[in-house]
Structure formats: C-alpha cells, structure tokens
C-alpha cells in the first residue's frame, strides 16, 4: 500500500486535509503529520527553525510509516518546503525513500524571500495576521474572538519563523524525489513562481492546476487533486539519475 504523508501550511494543522483524505482511494494510506503546538500535539512547544521542524517531522514520519514504506509526500504551502526538507533528510538516513513530492501552493524556494527581516523586533499580532490574510489562509470570522486571534498569531509567528529559516538556510535543498507542483488557478503563484521547483529535484518537473485559490484542497480542488494523486502514484516509477 502506498503511503502519502501530508504536511500542513503555516498556522494550520492536519485538519486542512480532511476532505482530501476522504477522497483518496483505499490503496493510498494518508499519514497526516502535524508540527508541535496544534491538533493532537497542542501541548507541545512550538518550533522556530526549519532544521528542528524537518528533524521532528522526519522522525515522526518514520515512526508512522516504517522504514520500508512505499512513500510519497504532499506538502501544502509551508508544508511544501518542509516536505522537500523531509524528502532530502530521508535520503541522507537511508529510507524510506520519498518517490514523489507533491509541492502544493508555494513558489519555488530559490525565489522566496524571508517574510520578516532578520534581527528586527518581533512582529505584532496584527502584522502576523495581516501577512497570513494576504495568502487567503485565514478565517477572519474566527479572529473576532481575541483569544482565538492571539492563539492563531502565536502559531503563525512560529511557523513564519520556520519558513524564514528555511529560505535562509535550506532553499537550495535538492531531492532525488520526483516533484509534482500543485496549485489553485486563483492562487497568487503562476508558472513564473513555480517553474523553478525543477531546481529542487534531479528528476523532471510536472505541474498540475486545480479550481480554487490558496486552500484549493479544502474546496473544489479536493476531488481532482485526489484523482491526480492516485494517477501519479500508479504511474511506473521513473529511474533516478
């Protein structure tokens, strides 16, 4: 059985994949990973560097999937970068090998710039929430509750730290995995933002588009995404170069 590891976006949790996992065929076993500080791991302290996040998720995935899994990874937004880091980390440790990295809803890491300047004063909650709202990844109705807003800002600040850390230290990571870029047609990222994902793999790049925006996998894009994943994971494996 194929295992599909799922890594969520900044400020998010495994809940973003609920609709998708219901649509996947039975021969694909989804393994939804969560960073500390949310979901099932809400009691754990948040992480703030890409190195720590990649190490944490790699260890968690190996425990969940086993060393011999037929493994692929779908990373959404921040999760796309962490998925790249995890795929490369698995190669260094000798397995399980990630066959396909579905890099969803993010520009190529080599084109990214940090969200916040290094050494600057910490951003306010309002600044953090505004930054996230720019990606269309916030339910602004929930943020009317000050306690929920403060919690969301805290998680986002930690995850933005991870994203900036990745851009500064791991953007040139290369994997042996095949990369399939996935994006919503109404998202901010077009070909000019995603084509350079080809620099992150030794294999040819594929790109798939789906109806919807940044969180297309929670809406109209979920069903065609599930079908596309099933199709890709039943294709013959490409030989490594």
Domain definitions of the chain by residue range: 2-232
Global pTM reads 0.94
CB atoms within 10 A of CB 96: 19
CA dist 73 and 6 (Å) reads 6
| Strand, coil or helix: 84 | helix
Q: What is the mean pLDDT of residues 174-179?
A: 98
Strand segments, DSSP code E, in the chain are 2-7, 28-33, 70-76, 98-104, 178-184, 206-210
- Cβ–Cβ under 8 Å, residues 215 and 17: no
| pLDDT tens column, 51-80 | 999 999 999 999 999 888 999 999 999 999
- Percent over 90 (pLDDT), the chain: 79
pLDDT of residue 95: 82
Between the alpha carbon of residue 42 and those of residues 33, 36, 69, 155, the distances in Å are 13, 6, 27, 10
Note the CATH architecture for domain 2-232. Answer: 3-Layer(aba) Sandwich (3.40)
Radius of gyration of the chain measured on its C-alpha atoms: 17
pLDDT of residue 203: 97
- The confidence band for 237, taking pLDDT boundaries of 50, 70 and 90, is low
User: Is a pLDDT exceeding 90 seen at residue 126?
Assistant: no
| Strand, coil or helix: 150 | helix
- The confidence band for 119, taking pLDDT boundaries of 50, 70 and 90, is confident
| pLDDT tens column, 131-145 | 888 776 676 666 778
User: Is a pLDDT exceeding 60 seen at residue 28?
Assistant: yes
CA dist 207 and 179 (Å) reads 9
Handedness of CA 184, 152, 60, 85 (dihedral sign): positive
User: Is a pLDDT exceeding 90 seen at residue 36?
Assistant: yes
């Amino acid at each position: 059985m194929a295992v599909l590891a799922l890594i969520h976006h900044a400020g998010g949790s495994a809940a973003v994949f609920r609709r998708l996992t219901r649509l996947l065929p039975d021969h694909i076993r989804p393994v939804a990973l969560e960073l500390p500080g949310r979901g099932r791991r809400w009691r754990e302290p948040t992480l703030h560097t890409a190195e720590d996040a990649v190490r944490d998720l790699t260890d968690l995935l190996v425990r969940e999937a086993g060393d011999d899994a037929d493994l692929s990874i779908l990373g959404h937004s921040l999760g796309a970068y962490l998925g790249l880091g995890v795929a490369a980390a698995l190669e260094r440790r000798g397995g399980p090998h990630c066959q396909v990295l579905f890099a969803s809803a993010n520009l190529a890491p080599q084109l990214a710039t940090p969200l916040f300047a290094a050494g600057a004063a910490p951003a306010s909650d309002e600044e953090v929430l505004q930054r996230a709202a720019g990606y269309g990844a916030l339910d602004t109705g929930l943020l009317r509750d000050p306690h929920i807003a403060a919690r969301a800002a805290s998680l986002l600040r930690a995850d933005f730290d991870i994203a900036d850390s990745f851009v500064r230290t791991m953007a040139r990571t290369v994997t042996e995995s095949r990369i399939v870029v996935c994006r919503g047609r109404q998202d901010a990222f077009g070909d000019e933002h995603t084509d350079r994902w080809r620099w992150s793999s030794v294999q040819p790049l594929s790109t798939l588009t789906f109806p919807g925006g940044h969180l297309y996998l929670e809406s109209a894009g979920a069903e065609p995404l599930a079908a596309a994943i099933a199709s890709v994971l039943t294709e013959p494996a490409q030989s490594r170069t």
